[in-house]
Structure 1
């Protein structure tokens, strides 16, 4: 067989694609990227694209931030790799754990490192199973999440993820229970107010706990804003309704802040934006501004104490990864936290969010096939509909959101199709002019696609 010549053919010949619409690849080819410049990426043909998806939510400081690059280079020269096993860890790991507890909503706590958000959620489940078993309650194994939630791709975290595509793997595993998605626009019943919707979800939680038995439930995991579900902020009062129910039954609430952590919603943590304090936080993505694969489990005081007691009973926690607490990753994370919190990036989200919302709302007003604009901070979604009044979606066969994403790519804009929504979660460094560029290119893409499918 002759070797393929083009970058696109080489990619298609030797690589498997994850979460990729293969008909689009067959029709349009693969975009092979060589480098980035600020919020832009550049492909092998020299074409620039404004990446309004921040890579995968995570490149919040852009693709060439000199401070992050220098932090990585300096740590590689000083100490390029290690683990956190056998009572040894790098000084960078110690400093990052201190910093994460300091910036968390917890008065004190402890941190465990992974290589991704998926692994961090998986690890948190194992922690809950471990401590419940150590406390003489081995039957507390069931995990509660919500439909349309996304928590990862390991066998456990995919079981937590309330997406129908996991059926192709024979998932979820037994004991993973999905409750109603707190998206009032889509799942509110006719004539139901938002407050009534939230009260119904609270009753559902109570009913599930009664049906399954509180003594069989290990924990409840929730994203403050559902990210890969299509940017779904919770209905008003949702967490204030569910958390007291969980507390009454002794069920820990775990905030999956893989996407929302470190500024995306306008606060350091999404749980702060929505005014609740969880028992633990899952972090990744913005933790290193996308410059290193890393995840973290941040335990609050109660779970820290319970884990300490469970570990003491057998003299170890038999879990970990070769690159847990990697010194280069920790050095980058320390710099990334400083960049977001002290170099003005978090403030840019606070200052820019009203402008972003206003620009997207103006686009919605120009397009009758946009049924809902939803989001907060620098994470927003536009939901495409056949009919705005009835909320009737487009026929699935039309692949409307994929068409919009492809049309946007033709315009030099990267955005993400999720369901029938188009998601925009730009880097925090976006200037006003670049935000306007994002609006203009998206508007042209929407005009083109809605004319085609109208």
Structure 2
């Protein structure tokens, strides 16, 4: 795969692999870290968001032993980690992170993300088979997307009005979705249950079935 080959290439030339996992860490993709889902161990990982479930603003950078040793063995200030800033190590933020991580372990949210993500992906692909305007369905864990087209063979993107109407009708039928261009993005809570997954797909199905606009509009 791409990521293992990239890891191999970077190791060959002594280049660090830094993973931006602000969105993907702590279960979103069905693994504790998104990069681990591809069998890759980064040298540095940037994390935030789900570390506190958004209850408190907190971010962090995690490094491996190789990076840690480089800082620890440095003999001058060029290798110092300056961490005495006003908001660094905020006790409330750290307490929120510990509580959220405890719940993530207790509820096995990465496992739930994988199970419900697989189920959602299968149901969304059923929609693709039924509706010509669904050109592509993709996802990993509970990070999914539908790409709308006006011509499936030519892969012509659907118009913004059409996609917006699908989203509006889905909302009227119980699901709040995010639209970016001709793509509908689904990032449901990691505690989602089967009934919730069905409700999301049923709402999108309604949005597609009730939409009377020209897909090119």
The one of 312, 316, 333 equivalent to 2:97 is 333
Partner of 1:116: none
Of the two structures, which has the highest relative contact order with CA contacts closer than 8 Å and spacing of 6 or more? 1
Q: Residues 285 and 294 of structure 1 are in contact (CA less than 8 Å); yes or no, is this contact kept in structure 2?
A: yes
Tell me by how many angstroms 1:294 deviates.
Answer: 0.8
Equivalent in the alignment of 1:245: 9
Gaps of 5+ in 2: none
After the TM superposition, which segments of 4 or more aligned residues of structure 1 sit over 4 Å from their partners?
Answer: 318-321
For 1:320 and 1:381, how far apart are their aligned partners in 2? 41
Q: Is the Cα contact below 8 Å between 1:401 and 1:418 reproduced in 2?
A: no
What's the secondary structure of 1:383's corresponding residue?
A: strand
RMSD: 2.0
Which residue does the alignment assign to 1:307? 71
- Which protein is bigger by CA-based radius of gyration? 1
Q: Distance in 1 between matches of 2:158 and 2:203?
A: 22
Offset of 1:320 from its aligned partner? 6.1
Does the Cα contact within 8 Å between 2:115 and 2:141 map onto a contact in 1?
Answer: no
Q: After superposition, what is the alpha-carbon deviation per residue over 1:148-202, rounded to whole angstroms, capped at 9, x for unaligned?
A: xxxxxxxxxxxxxxxxxxxxxxxxxxxxxxxxxxxxxxxxxxxxxxxxxxxxxxx
User: Per the alignment, in what secondary structure is the counterpart of residue 386 of structure 1?
Assistant: strand
Match of 1:452 in 2: 213
The answer (yes or no) to whether the contact 2:133–2:158 under 8 Å persists in 1 is no
Structure 1 pair 404–319 and aligned structure 2 pair: CA distance change class (3 A): farther
Q: Output one character per residue of 1:224-250: Cα deviation in whole Å (capped at 9) or x when no partner.
A: xxxxxxxxxxxxx11122222222222
Task: Identify the match of residue 372 of structure 1 among 86, 111, 136.
Answer: 136
State the number of aligned residues.
214
Match of 2:35 among 268, 271, 284: 271
Partner of 1:439: 201
In 2, the alpha carbon distance for the partners of 1:268 and 1:345 equals 9
Q: Please, what TM-score do these two structures have when normalized by structure 2? A: 0.89
- Normalised to the residue count of structure 1, the TM-score between the two structures is 0.45
Shift of 1:440: 1.0
Q: Contact 2:116 / 2:197 at 8 angstroms: preserved in 1?
A: no
Shift of 1:295: 0.8
